Amino acid sequence: MIFCSRILRQMQKRLLVAFDFDHTIVDDNTDIVVREMLPKEKISSEISDLYSSDGWTVYMGKIFELLHQNGITREEIQTTIRDIPITPGFDNLLKFLLDKDCETIVISDSNSEFIKEWLKGASLEHTIRSVFTNPAKYDSEGCLHIDMYHVQDWCQLSTKNLCKGYILENYVNNRKEEGIDFARTVYIGDGKNDLCPCLKLSANDFAFPRKGYALMKYIYEHPVKAAIHPWNTGEDIIGVISKLL
């Protein structure tokens, strides 16, 4: 019986915590911060129009090309990313979740290079199990290239390159197939594209919209089943989650 109960505990995780990245873990937007390395006059109206015609990911791909063409190096971009401040209390939150053996993932419309670089610079890469985002890589000349995470047409709440609700649902199902069942799921975010994963949560789960950001408005306009806990800092979230463990 002791052996069986130990196996059962190993198969059950108390908590899955899914994070957005921009304006959630970091207190800014990684793409905007890097775009601001370019003088505004370098961004033509033709490139600006790509956002509305082809989407943000295609637009940022052109921004990365412009950065390279204007002599802005990989190292300068990496330094800029590392210098983005963490959202207050999120270092404590990530370490708290790690200490409590919670499983943590990031689902973000940023890109793999930015998230990897920031987590490494903050010495927090060990606190995140998996990152789901637009894949990116530098070529041999130091130009950053980005691809869409996927191309979707089934979710009208999401951009065509990233449905966060689909990713969250798949992750939970895949972990279940691997023998890991979560007692609860928590989603922490700030933006309109964080609404879809919140709608995937059950009445047993928790949604944390950041106060003063778009998700706060949209989450109350839709039938979210999860308990809703607005937050200002990571300490606010620790205060709620600590009561679940």
Query: What are the start-end ranges of the H helices in 70-134?
Result: 74-82, 90-99, 112-121
First to last CA, the chain: 24
Annotated binding-site residue? 194: no
- For the beta sheet containing 206-209, the strands, ordered from the edge strand earlier in sequence to the opposite edge, are 130-134, 103-111, 12-19, 181-189, 206-209, 227-228
CA atoms within 13 A on the CB side of 154: 9
Asked if 229 contacts 223 with a C-beta cutoff of 8 angstroms, the reply is: no
Annotated binding-site residue? 27: no
Annotated binding-site residue? 190: yes
* 153 among known catalytic residues: no
Residue 151 CB neighbour total at 10 angstroms: 9
Residue among 20, 194, 205, 236 flagged as catalytic: 20
Length of the chain: 245
Q: Which helix (H) or strand (E) holds 222?
A: none
DSSP 8-state symbol, 76: H
Annotated binding-site residue? 99: no
Report the C-alpha gap between 238 and 90 in whole angstroms: 9
Annotated binding-site residue? 22: yes
**In sequence order, what DSSP letters do the residues of 131-193 get, joined into one string?**
EEEE-EEE-TTS-EEE--S----S-TTSBTTB-HHHHHHHHHHHHHHTT-EEEEEEEEE-SGG
DSSP 8-state symbol, 210: B
Residue among 22, 194, 205, 236 flagged as catalytic: 22
Q: Which residues belong to the annotated binding site for Mg(2+)?
A: 20, 22, 190
Any idea which residues carry the catalytic annotation?
20, 22
Q: Which residues belong to the annotated binding site?
A: 20, 22, 31, 109, 190
Q: Which residues belong to the annotated binding site for substrate?
A: 31, 109
